[in-house]
Structure 1
Amino acid sequence: MILIAIVEKPKRQSKGDFKGRHFEAWLIIQAVTWYLRYPLSYRDLESMFLERGFEVDHSTINHWVLAYAPLIEKRLRLFRRPHCGSIRVDETYVKIGGKWRYLYRAIDKRGVPIDFLLAAKRDAAAAKQFFRKMLEDQPLLAPDKFGTDGASVYPATISDAVDAGLIPPNPLHRVSKHFQQGIESDHFRVKENMPKVGGFQSFRTARKTIAGFEAMLWLKKGFDFAGEWTVRKQNKLLSCCFGLEMVSEG
């Protein structure tokens, strides 16, 4: 009953999501979630659907991912629960258009993902933008402990967040490799299915697709729902978010 009540808002938002599409909604969401969940290329998915009697061009699947990955992230964001007061912040490299860009990410001490931001530069402006995005977006208990690497931008960024009233005064800031091990491992989980050769072709493509990768990691780690959090239950939640019966029985 609680889950039904929670999904009512995303179900209302789902009207018109698939208007004008030439394939059924369940097949579109299945293709997108497979791409975001497993190390598959668009051509792999084209072949897999062909085996099942569906002729779907790999470029069409690419268009679906760019259209629906951000929607999946937006809908699943509604289910996040409040985090504990201790978080770890770090950035990792992502290749876009032949250049290295920066993905800012944060998790809490339990390893639960909090938020992310793709930035063109690794500087104070990007760090402050990420903190504002992370701290203004509820639900998030006002953190009073921050773990970061030794980048010089973080003390000023944390101070700026205090001045803006986003976190309590006098937060504890720890610079420690030990505290950063968890988020560094978490980077791998969100990056393992990204393009291995050449990276992303454009910042727009990267931003939309990474939103889907992050959302699927949220989904995989769960939202504190009771019982075993199986892939089937994950798919059921996704189905509800788009007003569908079921994405997959797998």
Structure 2
Amino acid sequence: MILNAIAERLKRKSKNDFKGRQFEAWLIIQAVSWYLRYPLSYRDLEEMFLERGFAVDHCSINRWFLAYAPLIEKRLRRFRKPHCGSIRVDETYIKVRGAWKYLYRTIDKHGNPVDFLLTAKRDIDAAKRFFNKILKDEPLLSPGKIGTDGANTFPSTIKTAVDDGLLRPNPVHYVTKHLQQRIESDHFRVKKNMSKVGGFQSFNTARRTIAGFEAMLWLKKGFDFPGTWTVNKQNDLIALLFGLQKVNKA
């Protein structure tokens, strides 16, 4: 019943998502979801669609991806599982135009994704922005345990979050290397397909691309729906996000 209500709202919201596009909505979303899921380049997708009788230029696929990957991420947010109350926070490095930028990420102790934020700097302001994003995003709850690395930005950030009422009083903050290994391994799942990008040329492109890769990781890990969480069911959910009957027609 709830899922049907969400589907109706998404269908109304997606009414103008594909206005002015030359190709059908299902083909566009198919291209974007394949790029997110598999180690394919835009030219690989161009050839795959040509084999199926669709002449789609790789530059068009690039524009579709930058437009719709962030929408997939935004609309999948409402399906995420609340974290278990014990989270791991860490940052990893992303190169944009030859300079290192910083991707803050959070999972809970069971490996369920919580949130992410790409920042230009690794400082206390960036850490505070990330914590604000995590803690203000419903339906996620205030965690009672927070694991981080030894960066000196986190203790003051956690204190500020408590003072601002975003965190419950006296959260447990621990700094242990072995408990951080899970999120450090989880970074690889997001970054493994970035090699096909060949290096980000702008911060905005990096932000949109990473949003798509993070969304696909959420989708693969599942949302506690009943039954086996197959690729077909994952595709059905993506279709639902855009008011479509199916995605994988090609």
RMSD (Å), alpha carbons: 1.3
Pairwise CA distance, 1:78: 1.4
Q: Does 1:191 align with 2:194?
A: no
Question: Does the C-alpha gap of structure 1 residues 170 and 190 become closer, same or farther in structure 2, counting only changes over 3 Å?
Answer: same
The correspondence of residues 61-76 of structure 1 with structure 2, limited to 5 A, is: 61-76=61-76
CA deviation vs aligned residue, 1:115-159 (integer Å, no higher than 9, x gap): 000000111110000000011001111101000000010000110
CA contact under 8 A between 2:32 and 2:68: conserved in structure 1? yes
Q: Does 1:231 align with 2:231?
A: yes
Q: Does 1:178 align with 2:178?
A: yes
SS of residue matched to 1:78: helix
List gaps (5 residues or longer) in structure 1. Answer: none
Q: Does 1:121 align with 2:121?
A: yes
SS of residue matched to 1:195: helix
Q: Does 1:85 align with 2:82?
A: no
Question: Does the C-alpha gap of structure 1 residues 142 and 197 become closer, same or farther in structure 2, counting only changes over 3 Å?
Answer: closer
* Alignment coverage as a number of residue pairs: 250
Give the letter for the 1:101 counterpart: K
Give the letter for the 2:73 counterpart: E
Give the letter for the 1:212 counterpart: G
TM-score by length of 1: 0.97
SS of residue matched to 1:35: helix
TM-score by length of 2: 0.97
- Structure 1 residue aligned with 2:31: 31
CA deviation vs aligned residue, 1:190-230 (integer Å, no higher than 9, x gap): 11111357411110101111111111111111111111000
SS of residue matched to 1:15: helix
Give the share of equivalent positions with the same residue, in percent. Answer: 73
The correspondence of residues 73-222 of structure 1 with structure 2, limited to 5 A, is: 73-196=73-196, 198-222=198-222
CA contact under 8 A between 2:91 and 2:105: conserved in structure 1? yes
Give distance in 2, aligned partners of 1:25 and 1:247.
8
Give distance in 1, aligned partners of 2:238 and 2:151.
38
Pairwise CA distance, 1:104: 0.3
Pairwise CA distance, 1:178: 1.3
CA deviation vs aligned residue, 1:17-36 (integer Å, no higher than 9, x gap): 00000000000000001111
- Structure 2 residue aligned with 1:58: 58
- Structure 1 residue aligned with 2:20: 20
Pairwise CA distance, 1:7: 2.3
List gaps (5 residues or longer) in structure 2. Answer: none
